[in-house]
Structure 1
């Protein structure tokens, strides 16, 4: 599920009539577990291919609470948000059953998103303290360490996919956190370079307008200014 590769059939096109809309309706009325159980048709073997589905992040949200006894927000605050020196609280919107949205609806400020990006650019370390395990973060963000099905140009026509991170093509490790409607954090750990975008596109799929091309051109230009793509 970290690789979006559970193999469950699930459409997510943000048109109000897809499986995501159905999943959300069930989740609101019957709870998160009931919504997950409603999608039990398999379209591929587990781990065989990348297929983006917000339901898989919700499953991780439910799993984390069951394993730790903490909500996602509580876990984030103690393990990441406070140790990295965030200046504001950050929480998810909760559903009626008390579970965080998980797959989205995360509330944070621009500067704290920048702090998160800088932490990731420094391989999870801050002021000599390892906040995110380095080996895990390298595995999560380096496409060379992923199976072929998740590499750039194969998982999608451009990006690859690690453990909840989008990976860029090229030999040098670069990765991103990409949100719906274009919110994003781009990270180049070699250059210790971070770009945070909080502007919103008109379309959920930013490739439908110039937003994605402009965002990509800006990032490539900034990287080229200080190093090489």
Structure 2
């Protein structure tokens, strides 16, 4: 663990750093960035830039017209249920080279033999194996499609949109950074970087269902919809590892409403809206099961 912060509303209960990290270091989100992308989709929808999340992605991204991802509704992309074939894991026994690795090479790494561009890098994955909105399958590329929708719909970069709509309004103390691809676009599925207390500010915003000091930044109804499994979408109730799945966020089991932003190697933001408790952990190793026991104990004591 490189950083840990526990807060109840605007009061920090614990703030710790290890392995040379400090409160000035920008720490990687890994896939927690997916949840940030989902929140921005919610803001763009409320503002009318996106007319409906039941629209297909190709409604906003002309380059995806005629492709399976282009024909997929935004709602299904938010739920990681496009039904398009994409393998998240690389086959190490075959030297890697899985779908995610191929997407990474084509989107991010600048090679003389890789000139596809962002849209074409995504469009090459074009085999549908299930109807959209019928099965959960974690696939980072779905968030990258959402990133394209957001950029085309708003006419802004993701960083610019986040800065205007969220980062400045919640009074963050430091600039954040986001990895860009070979065309200069943010990699929507990961690699956002911020200081620990700014992650905690974001978590507090989520704990208040998108409200900050009396101003609604993310629509409250979007936050409810994003963290609730509808009766017609029961396949999302036990999506992965005992968690349910909402709009790019993981949902805790049980009757108490709690949700999590999770990233590779132990990046976690845990949110308990009833008590306004939040926990932020950054790490370099996924193997930290004690964090769940700690979270349970904190909610039990302060919730």
Q: TM-score, normalised by structure 2?
A: 0.69
Kindly report which structure 2 residues correspond to 1:11-90, keeping only aligned pairs within 5 A, or say none: 11-13=87-89, 15=92, 16-28=96-108, 29=114, 30-90=116-176
Match of 2:249 in 1: 165
Q: Secondary structure at the match of 1:147?
A: helix
Report how many aligned residue pairs link the two structures.
217
**Residue 139 of structure 1 contacts residue 145 of structure 1 at CA under 8 Å; is this kept in 2?**
no
Match of 2:294 in 1: 218
**Alpha-carbon distance between aligned partners in 2 of 1:144 and 1:111, rounded to the nearest angstrom:** 33
Q: Which has the higher contact order (CA 8 A, sep 6+)?
A: 2
Q: Report how far residue 26 of structure 1 moved.
A: 1.7
> Which residue of the other structure, out of 225, 230, 233, is the alignment partner of 1:139?
225
1:121-178, CA deviations, whole angstroms, 9 ceiling, x for partnerless residues?
1111111111110000111012356710111xx2124001000110000111000000
Q: Secondary structure at the match of 1:149?
A: helix
**Residue 195 of structure 1 contacts residue 219 of structure 1 at CA under 8 Å; is this kept in 2?**
yes
Residues 146, 79 of structure 1: alpha-carbon distance in 2 compared, 3 angstrom cutoff:
farther
> Which residue of the other structure, out of 179, 185, 192, is the alignment partner of 2:276?
192
Question: Where does structure 1 lack aligned partners over 5 or more consecutive residues?
Answer: none
1:76-95, CA deviations, whole angstroms, 9 ceiling, x for partnerless residues?
01011111111111231111
Which protein is richer in helix relative to its size? 1
Bigger Cα Rg: 2
Q: TM-score, normalised by structure 1?
A: 0.90
User: CA RMSD for the aligned pairs?
Assistant: 1.4
Question: Where does structure 2 lack aligned partners over 5 or more consecutive residues?
Answer: 1-76, 109-113
**Residue 32 of structure 1 contacts residue 58 of structure 1 at CA under 8 Å; is this kept in 2?**
no
Match of 1:97 in 2: 183
1:16-44, CA deviations, whole angstroms, 9 ceiling, x for partnerless residues?
43210011112233221111111011121
Residues 32, 145 of structure 1: alpha-carbon distance in 2 compared, 3 angstrom cutoff:
farther
